Each structure stands twice: as C-alpha cells, then as structure tokens.
Amino acid sequence: MKFVSTLLLGLWLSATVHALELGGITMPETLTTSDGATLHLNGAGIREKWFMDLYVGGLYLLQPSADPDTILSADEPMAIRLHIVSGMITSEKMVNATMEGFENSTGGNVDALDVNIKAFLAAFDEAIKEGDIFAFIYEPGKGIHIMKNGAEYMLVECELAFKQALFGIWLSDKPAQKSLKRDMLGRHG
C-alpha cells in the first residue's frame, strides 16, 4: 500500500511540476490539436503595457525550440495561448493591437493576407473580459483554429504565410514585446 501511495504521489507531482504559473495564471503543459497532435509548452511570459499586465501568452510546439525563424517557417502544428488578465483590454483595443502586430510582423505587407486578417479579427467581435482565454492553433492544410474559453470559436482557413504573419506578432524581429518573445522562446534555450 505504501508503494502505491508513493507511486500515486509521484505521478501527481510529475503532472503538476511541469505546469508554468505566471502572474497567478497556470499555463497548461500541453494542448491537443483537432487531429490529436500534442503540443508542448515551449515558454510563456506576460504582455505588459504602461506597467500593467495585459495577458499571459504561451507558445506551444511539437518539439522545443528557441529559434524564432525555424518556428515561423515550420509548416507544422503549433499554438499561441493568451489568458487575458486585465479588464482594460477591449475588443477594439485587441483588434487595433493585433492589426499593428500584423503590420509589424509582415513589414507592412498585409495586402496579400487581407482576407485572412479580416476573418481572424472577427474573433474579437464579442466583448473581451478579464479571464478570457484565446488559443490560436495552427494545423497545416486546415488553418488557424480560434478557441475562446475552451470552445472552438471559428476556423480561419489559411496557408503557411498567414500562420507566419500571425505567429510573427510575437516572434518576428519586431514583436509585440521583446521580453514576451524571449520568454516564449527561452524556456528551452
């Protein structure tokens, strides 16, 4: 009986040790795609503006990587998860910040992605509140699954170029926040 108790305690500890907590938010160690692929938390950080925490963002990959160029060019399942921690984020502010992120990640070349960007921004049409959780899960051949609070909200059918622009918001040479990029990449590097 003592062996079983020790074994169960060990399993419980191994399951909880890997979860990452930031700003009171626990980021899950894994996410699963609709095709059943398991994505692992590569790293996570806090997006701040004017000394205020806005969201906790995490990057999920099939295999750990600290190389943003490799991640951006990879045509494989991956995800970004955002946990909103501020009541100051509105739908309008999220749309504006995301559009600015697309401009930055593409060097201003958003015209070719206009249809995908408009479809993606529709995910923020509903009010955003503190505690909301968004996941943007890329699956090659399908597109970006947008999850809101654990339920699929919509699918943006797209090619690799749109995935590169979207993930580039956090991982490009001009990311939303350099420290968040470093944190998303730095866990294994």
**Please, which pLDDT band fits residue 18 given cuts at 50, 70 and 90?**
low
Residue 6 located in a structural domain: no
139 falls within a domain: yes
- Residue 69: CATH number of its domain: 3.50.70.10
**For residue 154, which of 34, 27, 29 has the smallest C-alpha distance?**
34
Q: What is the reported pTM?
A: 0.87
Number of domains the chain is built from: 1
What local confidence, expressed as pLDDT, does residue 185 receive?
96
Domain that holds residue 27: 20-186
**Cα–Cα distance, 120 to 73 (Å, whole number):** 20
Strand partners, 143: 139
With respect to residue 118, please indicate whether it lies within any of the assigned structural domains: yes
**Token reading at 50:** 């004017």
Is residue 103 pLDDT above 90, yes or no?
Answer: yes
pLDDT at 7 over 60: no
Q: Is residue 89 part of a domain?
A: yes
pLDDT tens digits, 29-45: 999 999 999 999 999 99
List own/partner pairs for 140-149 with CB under 8 A and 24 or more apart.
Answer: 140/75, 140/76, 140/77, 142/34, 144/120, 145/33, 145/34, 146/120, 148/123
Residue 2 lies in a domain: no
pLDDT digit string, tens, across residues 75-84:
999 999 999 9
Residue 77 lies in a domain: yes
Supply 172's token pair.
Answer: 């490009």
Residue 10 forms part of a structural domain: no
The one-letter amino acid at 25? I
Pairwise CA distance, residues 162 & 119, whole Å: 11
Look at residue 90 and tell me if it is in a domain.
Answer: yes
**Rounded Cα–Cα distance for residues 2 and 121 (Å):** 54
DSSP 8-state code for residue 129: -
Burial zone of 32 (CB within 10 Å; 0-12 exposed, 13-18 middle, 19+ buried): middle
